[in-house]
Each structure stands twice: as structure tokens, then as C-alpha cells.
Amino acid sequence: MPLSRWRARLPGLARIFEDAGVVLRLFGLPLCVMDGRLELSNDAHFSPRVTVERRSVDGAPGLTAILSRDAGRRRSKPAVCRPCSARKLCAGVFDRYLESFGGAELAPRGGQ
């Protein structure tokens, strides 16, 4: 889904969760989409962990353990992100998103 659609829907979605007293954390959205709302970003609350994922092992269904040292696995920060003030906190955007939509909708936050 294009980032512009997330930007348009996120304020209302966040309000629904806040009104219900439920914590909303989103994984994989760059911080520029969240309009500075770090509390919504899993990236800002990430801690290293081991996750177990399904994948093919020797051609058969299996499980494998993945050590995630940071939130940025399979994500990138294209050149447009260089001046962003949130660069150190943000893990970027999924590589697959960039392949599908490009980086035109990324909007670096002001300052450095």
C-alpha cells in the first residue's frame, strides 16, 4: 500500500486505538509516515531478539531461528532519507516496498 494511504489513515486508526485504551505499534512503516509519533513505531521500541519463522528446509516445510539485531532487516534507507532528523531511530522502508513503489513518497523530517 502506498505510504500516502498510510499517512491519510493513520491518524484515525491511532485515535480508535487510543480511545479503546489499546497500545498501537506498527512495524515496517518509516517514521516520516507517522508524523513524529514515535510511540506508534515498533522501531523506536525494538530490542534484539530471536524469532522463529516458517521456511523451506532442504525442500521440506520447517522452522528456522532468526537473530534480529535491529529492526531494519529487509529494509533500506534510500538517498532521500539522508537529511532526515529521524534517521538513527528509523529502520527505513522495506526493500520490497521500494521495488514496488519507489521512494518518492518518503518525506525526510526536518533538521539533522
State the residue range of the domain holding 34.
3-101
Nearest to 101 by CA among 80, 82, 87, 85: 80
- Identify whether 85 is part of a domain: yes
pLDDT reported for residue 48 = 65
Number of domains in the chain: 1
Prediction pTM value: 0.70
Tens digit of each residue's pLDDT, the chain (112 residues): 999 999 999 999 999 999 999 999 998 889 999 888 889 988 777 666 677 778 887 888 888 777 666 666 678 999 999 999 988 888 899 999 999 999 999 999 885 4
Residue 107 lies in a domain: no
In a domain, 9, yes or no: yes
Q: What is the largest CA-CA distance in the chain?
A: 50
Q: Is residue 49 part of a domain?
A: yes
On whether residue 111 sits in a domain, the answer given is no
Report if residue 110 sits inside a domain: no
